[in-house]
Chains A and B, each alone.
Chain A
Amino acid sequence: MRATLALAISLLGATLVLAQVEQPVAGKGSEQRHDYAELSKAPDKARMRRNPIEGDANGVAAGRKLFEQHCAECHGATGEGGKKAPSLSAREIQEATPGTLFWLLTNGVVRRGMPVWSKLPEAQRWQLVMYLRTLRMETPTDSTPKTEAK
């Protein structure tokens, strides 16, 4: 009986967690702003890092596959952004160095809901960076804010 009671309390607790936890969605209302400030936190050494597989002929295609598997759920099928994550076509992303994007992928933005992606081997993170840099850069008229960035 005590076991059943404890189990019920735990399930209730878990349900409350599910219901109450703040998801990493954007800010309030429709006037949300992109915030790519995390990019500026990349150390100089990381920012200047060169892609060691830059000449890989399959890099972009493999990066696209990885993007569809791990990133598109939040960032949209073409990186256009969504409720949970910002556009990757934004000027801030497209003008960032490969090393900066690699650093951001590796470290995530944990307090804003983006997980660390160091679970992917380094070569796969560089393949993702190669694909990200093929996304079309937004023009100013494209960039209607949708979410608060991570």
Chain B
Amino acid sequence: MPSHLEAQESPYIVTYDHYLEEPGNLEIEYFSTLGTQRGGNDFHAGWLELEYGATAWWTTELYLDGQTTFKDSTVFTGFRWENRFRLLQHEHFINPVFYIEYEQISEADKIVKEVEGHDVESDHAVPNAISRQGHNHELELKLLLSSNYKGWNFAVNPLATKNLLPSIPWEFGYAMGASRPLALKASAQKCNFCRENFVAGVELYGGLGDTVSSGLHDTSQYLAPAVAWNLPSGWTFRVSPGFGLNDNSHRLLMRWGVSREFSGFGQTVGKLFGGRR
């Protein structure tokens, strides 16, 4: 059976650094977003991530999204299939990773995993019965740029999204983050509350318009402090309150997540399929 590993996860929830899942490992993650909504009902959106390290340079990930809008209903809103490819073999001052994702989600999706184009708070005020009728098939591309300096990680992720309907323009957005463990040296003893188990950081993310009308107008922008707690038992907990920076943004996106990494998953599945292991 697969066993657990102690994760060394960043606190980011929206931003990506350049680290991929270790080969053969499966990470199961659940994230939750509690969002305030002006002109509508507050909501809770959740997503499950199954992240698998196919190789040391390729990670593939399946997302399943859903949401509950208070005083309305609970709906499954779709899935995403994400792939990340490390572009350079060795570490450099800036490390690029190519990201490509296919998503098939309804317009009721509220996880706000990224902000793109002219995404604004009022998009989420529509009742589920109406919004779930609309479906988006999108291709999302990101360039994940990440750098380490004196214990800090800095990451910048420009993104471009194309709805597969030809009439809808390319949409753009960004996410960036900085983080650092609370201690750089490890202590000699296994411990839950050692400072090195905590990583603190901050994220900034938002939309940049589309090919018809680019820029920061009619978009939403968020600033989100974030903390990750990596436990020796293999669990990681994250908490991140995101604050809207303009009138088009939700005032608060309160996020938390829990994840656990399992090693040897690829070998176990390979044996089931009679693979050469």
Q: List residues of chain A with CB within 8 A of the CB of B275.
A: 19-20
Instruction: Tell me if A's interface is mostly helix, strand, loop or mixed.
Output: helix
Count the A-B residue pairs with Cβ separation under 8 angstroms: how many? 131
Smallest CB-CB separation from B268: which chain A residue? Answer: A18
Pairwise interchain contact B79-A7, C-beta atoms closer than 8 A: yes
Residue A31 CB within 8 A of the other chain: no
Q: Complex Cα distance A6/B78, Å?
A: 10
Pairwise interchain contact B188-A121, C-beta atoms closer than 8 A: no
Pairwise interchain contact B185-A61, C-beta atoms closer than 8 A: no
Q: Complex Cα distance A86/B135, Å?
A: 49
Residue in B8, B187, B190, B269 whose beta carbon sits within 8 Å of that of A19 in the complex:
B269
Smallest CB-CB separation from B271: which chain A residue? Answer: A19
Q: List residues of chain B with CB within 8 A of the CB of A116.
A: 19, 56, 91
Residue B104 CB within 8 A of the other chain: yes
A10, A73, A111, A120, most chain B CB atoms within 10 A: A73
The 0/1 profile, CB within 8 Å of A marked 1, for residues 165-183 of chain B is 0000000000000000100
Question: Which B residues contact A (CB, under 8 angstroms)?
Answer: 3, 5-6, 8, 10, 17, 19-20, 22-24, 50, 52-57, 60, 62, 78-79, 81, 86, 89-91, 102, 104, 135, 148, 151, 181, 184-190, 196, 232, 263-267, 269-270, 272-273, 275, 277
Q: Complex Cα distance A20/B232, Å?
A: 31
The distance from the CB of A4 to the nearest CB of chain B, in whole angstroms, is: 10
Q: Complex Cα distance A6/B64, Å?
A: 13
Q: Complex Cα distance A113/B263, Å?
A: 14
Smallest CB-CB separation from A116: which chain B residue? Answer: B91
A111, A115, A118, most chain B CB atoms within 10 A: A115
The distance from the CB of B228 to the nearest CB of chain A, in whole angstroms, is: 12
Pairwise interchain contact B60-A62, C-beta atoms closer than 8 A: no
* Chain A to chain B contacts (Cβ below 8 Å), 10 pairs: A10-B79, A19-B275, A24-B24, A62-B187, A65-B187, A110-B56, A111-B56, A120-B8, A121-B196, A124-B196
Pairwise interchain contact A107-B81, C-beta atoms closer than 8 A: no
Pairwise interchain contact B186-A23, C-beta atoms closer than 8 A: no
The distance from the CB of A141 to the nearest CB of chain B, in whole angstroms, is: 28
Smallest CB-CB separation from A24: which chain B residue? Answer: B23
Residue A11 CB within 8 A of the other chain: yes
Pairwise interchain contact A111-B89, C-beta atoms closer than 8 A: yes
Tell me how many residues of A have a C-beta within 8 Å of chain B: 49
Given contacts A14-B52, A23-B270, A69-B5, contact A123 B24 (CB under 8 A): no
Pairwise interchain contact B270-A18, C-beta atoms closer than 8 A: yes
Pairwise interchain contact A65-B189, C-beta atoms closer than 8 A: yes
Pairwise interchain contact B185-A21, C-beta atoms closer than 8 A: no
The distance from the CB of B140 to the nearest CB of chain A, in whole angstroms, is: 15
Q: List residues of chain A with CB within 8 A of the CB of B81.
A: 10, 13-14
Ranked nearest first, the 10 interchain pairs of A and B with the lowest CB-CB distance are A61-B188, A19-B273, A121-B184, A69-B6, A62-B186, A58-B188, A123-B185, A18-B269, A110-B56, A123-B184
